[in-house]
Amino acid sequence: MKIEGDTKIKISKEVAISKIGEEAVLLNLKTGKYFQLNEEAVFAIENMRSFSSLNQLQKLFINTFDVDEKKCREDLSILLDFLIEKELLSISEN
């Protein structure tokens, strides 16, 4: 599923997060698979504990990091697509 700018997403309730310094490990409790995330991905994850959107995350990144708007959108889309594929995100029906 492709995430649109206003699609509401959050970290799935079947995911445990363990932060280790600037990085984190996500564990999908349903599948037993885990994934290591870098600092920027951790920032995105921390801001998806409650429902957020690609547009909201992009604004947060641009305001927090020195990042190009287009590159930010592309990188966030890749991250969100990966998290969906690995069943780590929940999508709101609203």
What pLDDT was estimated at residue 60? 92
What pLDDT was estimated at residue 85? 87
What pLDDT was estimated at residue 6? 87
What pLDDT was estimated at residue 94? 57
The answer to whether residue 51 is domain-embedded is yes
pLDDT digits (tens, 9 = 90+) for 17-31: 998 888 899 999 999
The CATH number of residue 78's host domain is 3.90.930.60
The answer to whether residue 83 is domain-embedded is yes
Q: How many domains does the chain have?
A: 1
The answer to whether residue 2 is domain-embedded is no
What pLDDT was estimated at residue 64? 92
What pLDDT was estimated at residue 27? 93
- Cβ-Cβ contacts under 8 Å for 3 (sequence gap 6 or more): 9, 54, 77, 80, 81, 84
Which residues of the chain fall below pLDDT 50? none
What pLDDT was estimated at residue 90? 85
For residues 75 and 81, give the distance between their C-alpha atoms in angstroms, rounded to a whole number. Answer: 10
Q: What range does the domain containing 36 cover? A: 8-90
